[in-house]
């Protein structure tokens, strides 16, 4: 595994965008909860937060992998999916989060065969299949990089309720960085929402243990 790149100075605007990203996710969760609550307020068993997320988030996309092969959400059906949105020029959160995903796969051992780890770029202008191929290889041989047209990336982000945006930064490569949400999504073999994790809160061991239990529950 290649050494992680050193974090670069974080511009104020990028920090603001990232805060907006987290706030946007929270606001959307409240909105969805409100909608479901209104529809079921007479129900003795209103939907849980997980049920709301299952209704709002799904693994649906049409993209191209780092080998240049067109893929869709259906391509990865039958496997638990660990999905993270980021970009290869990311100076901090992406390398550390992908490292956590890599350590999760290593911790799973043979059970990792039942997992599809997907890294979806939010920077399709720079993250071509060739760029992604070199990048994901530095983390784990099982990691899949996905890119596409700006419209395809936007649609994929909407399916996962991910926020991202460009922030000008004069000393960054090509003069900009990308602000984006920082969740690791765990999706079921059917492409439905199961859980979310963050690199700051959840360890690779914790994520691996959760996946191992889910794999076992499907075979019992």
pLDDT tens readout for residues 32-74: 444 444 344 445 556 666 777 777 899 999 999 999 999 999 9
Q: CA 152, CA 56: separation in Å to the nearest integer?
A: 18
pTM score, whole prediction: 0.79
Residue 55: predicted pLDDT = 77
49: DSSP letter? H
Q: What DSSP state is assigned to residue 128?
A: -
Mean of the pLDDT values across residues 133-153?
A: 98
Domain range 12-219, its CATH number among 3.40.50.300, 3.40.30.10, 3.30.1240.10, 3.40.50.2300: 3.40.30.10
Characterize the bridge pairing of strands 164-168 and 144-147.
unpaired
pLDDT over 60 (residue 75): yes
In the chain, where the domains are located:
12-219
Average pLDDT of the chain to the nearest whole number:
84
pLDDT of 54 reads 74
Collapsing DSSP states into helix, strand and coil, what is residue 184?
strand
Burial of 193: CB neighbours in 10 Å, binned 0-12, 13-18, 19+: buried
The β-bridge partners of 146 are: 65, 120
Q: Is the pLDDT of residue 188 over 60?
A: yes
Q: Which two tokens stand for residue 82?
A: 């660990």
């Amino acid at each position: 595994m290649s050494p992680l790149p050193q974090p670069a100075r974080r511009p104020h605007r990028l920090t603001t965008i990232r805060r907006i990203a987290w706030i946007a996710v929270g606001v959307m969760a409240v909105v969805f909860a409100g909608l479901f609550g209104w529809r079921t307020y007479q129900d003795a068993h209103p939907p849980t937060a997980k049920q709301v997320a299952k209704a709002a988030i799904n693994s649906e996309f049409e993209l191209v992998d780092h080998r240049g092969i067109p893929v869709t959400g259906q391509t990865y059906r039958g496997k638990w999916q660990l999905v993270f949105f980021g970009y290869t020029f990311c100076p901090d959160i992406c390398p550390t989060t992908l490292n956590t995903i890599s350590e999760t796969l290593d911790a799973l051992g043979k059970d990792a065969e039942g997992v599809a780890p997907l890294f979806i770029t939010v920077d399709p202008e720079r993250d071509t299949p060739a760029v992604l191929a070199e990048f994901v290889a530095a983390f784990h041989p099982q990691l899949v990089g996905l890119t596409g047209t700006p419209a395809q990336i936007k649609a994929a982000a909407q399916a996962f309720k991910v926020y991202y945006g460009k922030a000008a930064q004069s000393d960054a490569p090509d003069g900009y960085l990308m602000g984006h949400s920082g969740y690791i999504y765990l999706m079921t073999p059917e492409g439905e929402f199961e859980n979310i994790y963050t690199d700051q809160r959840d360890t690779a061991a914790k994520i691996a243990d959760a996946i191992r239990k889910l794999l076992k529950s499907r075979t019992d």
